[in-house]
Amino acid sequence: MKNIGLFYGSDTGTTEMISEQIINLIGQQNVIKHDIFDTKVSDFENYDCLILGLSTWYDGELQSDWDSFFEEFQTIDFKGKKVAIFGIGDQYSYADTFVDGVGIIGKVVKTNNGILIGEWSTEGYFHDSSVAEFETGTFCGLAIDEDNQSEMTDERLKRWSKQILKEFAE
């Protein structure tokens, strides 16, 4: 198993909690966790496999620490790196901007030559639109909604963690 770097940002702790669950599912020995709050661009150089996690705020904006880091994030060369993204959002209160942050950083990864893995079906979600829906019916990463569908979170995390481990290994 290659080393995996998990980079997350969280305002009220939800994304941090979900990050811990993903780390437990993937195996603590395989993952190194970084809070994007004190991350440097050079930290990304250590990994060929990346997991990026964030929430969306204020009608489609990046979580605050991701927002502060975004200019630097756009300078990263993702060539040869596999990148899985998960996002936390609220599909009812923010139906037009559900997990937009996943799409915003996903576009940067794609533009900067990264390989996006961990795509996820939109089946079972009730949003109207999302920047993360690169193709109709598919989010470019996992969407978690702790505000409205917390009962589905465990199962989604289990399935997605298994999926990305397989895709990292391919």
Ligand X SMILES: Cc1cc2nc3c(=O)[nH]c(=O)nc-3n(C[C@H](O)[C@H](O)[C@H](O)COP(=O)(O)O)c2cc1C
Q: Which residue in 16, 7, 11 sits closest to 42, CA to CA? A: 7
Q: Return the half-sphere exposure (C-beta side, CA atoms, 13 A cut-off) of residue 63.
A: 27
Residue closest to ligand X when measured from CB atoms: 89
Q: How far is the CB of 97 from ligand X (least distance, A)?
A: 4
Please select the residue that binds ligand X; options are 4, 5, 7, 10, rule is CB under 6 A.
Answer: 10
Q: How is residue 165 written in tokens?
A: 């481990």
Q: Which residue in 94, 160, 152 sits closest to 126, CA to CA? A: 94
Stretch that binds ligand X, among 4-12, 73-81, 105-113, 114-122 (CB under 6 A): 4-12
CB 130 within 8 A of CB 98: yes
> What binding mask, one character per residue, do residues 34-63 give for ligand X by CB under 6 A, x or -?
---------------------xxxxxx--x
Identify which of residues 11 and 48 has a Cβ nearer to ligand X in the complex.
Answer: 11
Identify which of residues 5 and 60 has a Cβ nearer to ligand X in the complex.
Answer: 60
> Any contact of residue 15 with ligand X (CB under 6 A)?
yes
Compute the CA torsion angle 105, 153, 15, 167 (nearest 10 deg).
-40
143: left (phi over 0), alpha (psi -120 to 50) or beta: beta
Please select the residue that binds ligand X; options are 11, 20, 43, 167, rule is CB under 6 A.
Answer: 11
> Any contact of residue 147 with ligand X (CB under 6 A)?
yes
Identify which of residues 44 and 86 has a Cβ nearer to ligand X in the complex.
Answer: 86
DSSP secondary structure code for residue 119 in this structure: -
CB 145 within 8 A of CB 89: yes
d(CA 98, CA 131): 8
Identify which of residues 57 and 78 has a Cβ nearer to ligand X in the complex.
Answer: 57
> What binding mask, one character per residue, do residues 83-122 give for ligand X by CB under 6 A, x or -?
-----xxx---x--xxxx----------------------
Provide the binding-site residues for ligand X, judged by CB under 6 A. 10-15, 55-60, 63, 88-90, 94, 97-100, 146-147
